Amino acid sequence: MFFSGCSSTVNLEAAELKKLPAKVPLTESSTIVCFGDSLTRGHGADSETESWPSLLQQRVKIPVINAGVDSDTTEDGLKRFATDVLAHDPAMVIFDFGGNDRFMMSRFQTFSQIESNFRKMLDQIDFAKTQVYIMRFFNDEMRFLDIFGEFDRMLKRLEKDYDLVIIWDAWSGAWGHNDCKADMTHCNAKGYRVMEANIFKVIRPFLAVNNLLR
């Protein structure tokens, strides 16, 4: 996956917080599913216990499923969506895909294919029972390339067409800081702590409304 760095500043766009959090019917089997690629799995940290889904688990009452797989694309996600997401009775799903679709040439997906894959997954979700977030895989500092503008336009279409929330800047404070880099494209444990704090700020209203915070 893509991009890393670190600092303690959290500066999320106000648009991320514009939607009122919904109440969903919770059951004894309800979970939070973090569904994505190596950034979700925690590649670059010393162990998966330092991934951002593992850090999120410390804040909530229900199980957090880390369904991140290295090098995955939206096409791969679609293939495992039923078993890795729907089978876990998700009260919340956080998607993290896109970087590998665009930057791994052996697994390249066009924007049309990426959007189609997202929509095929989203169409399987019962939004009355599940709150959905999509995490943007890059930082605003990377938007000098139009491919990122095209990805943003796709996210805005999905946000408009589905009852979901975009996490626009999970990288706020986690970009350009070598002390948090594991390699050119992944955070280390320190960087994932910053990323988790950014994600948590966006999803916290939903967690609070549904009494899911520890």
The residue length of the chain stands at 214
Look at residue 16 in the predicted model and tell me its pLDDT: 46
**Which residues, including other chains, have CB under 8 Å from residue 49's CB and lie 6 or more apart?**
none
Could you say which DSSP state residue 213 is in? Answer: B
Look at residue 8 in the predicted model and tell me its pLDDT: 43
Look at residue 139 in the predicted model and tell me its pLDDT: 72
Q: State how far the Cα of 205 lies from the Cα of 133, in Å rounded to an integer.
A: 13
> Is pLDDT of 194 > 80?
yes
Mean of the per-residue pLDDT values of the chain: 86
Look at residue 3 in the predicted model and tell me its pLDDT: 38
> 155 near 166, Cβ under 8 Å?
yes
> Is pLDDT of 133 > 70?
yes
Q: What angle do CA 126, 127, 130 make, to 5 degrees?
A: 90
Tens of pLDDT, residue by residue over 78-110, are 999 999 999 999 999 999 999 899 888 788 899
> Is pLDDT of 140 > 80?
no
Band (pLDDT 50/70/90 cuts) for residue 17 is very low
Mean pLDDT of 38-63: 90
> Is pLDDT of 180 > 70?
no
Lowest mean pLDDT across 143-147, 153-157, 199-203: 143-147
In what order do the strands lie in the sheet containing 31-36?
A: 64-68, 31-36, 90-96, 131-135, 164-167
Higher pLDDT, 161 or 16: 161
Token pair 């009122």 is at which residue?
20
